[in-house]
Copies of this chain bind each other. A is one copy, B any other.
Amino acid sequence: MVSGTANVKVRFAETDAMGVVYHANYLPWFECARLDLIEGVGLSYERLIEEGFHLPVVEVHVEYKHPARFGDEVEIRACIKSKPSVKMKVEYEARANGKLLVTGYTTHVFVNLHGAPVKPPREWTEKLSGKFAKC
């Protein structure tokens, strides 16, 4: 199973005047879990960049079910369910206090130094494939 997790404690800076986590602030948490997934299978963003690739975010989707509040311990789970080609999709769930807070996904595109979409390095397709269980 290709998944990763991040555990964050909600910072006061991440709340807004409604008393809950500002909606944009889930995206950096998603990124923490995505990084854990990438590193967890032995891949590395630094190496990807050294090899002449970039992997920008081209799409973000989030659905908000329950708010998180200051001090909450939030677990974010990232999961890749299909083998990446030019595009890579990562899905997320964030939970706290036994509740599902948000779900979402991000889509990324492998590009070369000229910004043109390209196939990912073999290492990325190999390490992110063949074992897509339910996250």
- A residues near B (Cβ < 8 Å) are 9, 11-20, 22-25, 27-28, 31-32, 35, 54, 56-64, 67, 69-71
A18 to chain B, nearest CB (A): 7
A44→B21 CA distance, assembly (Å)? 20
Report whether A64 and B58 are in contact in the complex, using a CB–CB cutoff of 8 Å: yes
Contact residues in B for A59 (Cβ distance below 8 Å)? 61-64
Q: Which of B16, B25, B27, B69 contacts A23 (CB 8 A)?
A: B27
A60 in complex: contacting residue of B14, B23, B35, B57, CB < 8 Å: B23
Cβ-defined partner of A70 (8 Å) among B11, B17, B24, B58: B17
A-B contact pairs, 24 of them (CB 8 A): A11-B31, A12-B17, A12-B22, A12-B28, A12-B31, A13-B22, A13-B24, A13-B27, A13-B28, A14-B28, A15-B16, A16-B16, A17-B18, A17-B19, A17-B69, A23-B27, A23-B57, A23-B60, A56-B64, A58-B63, A59-B62, A60-B60, A60-B61, A61-B62
* A13-B16 in contact given A57-B64, A60-B60 (Cβ < 8 Å): yes
Give chain B residues whose Cβ lies under 8 Å from the Cβ of A15: 16-17
CB distance from A28 to the nearest CB of B (A): 4
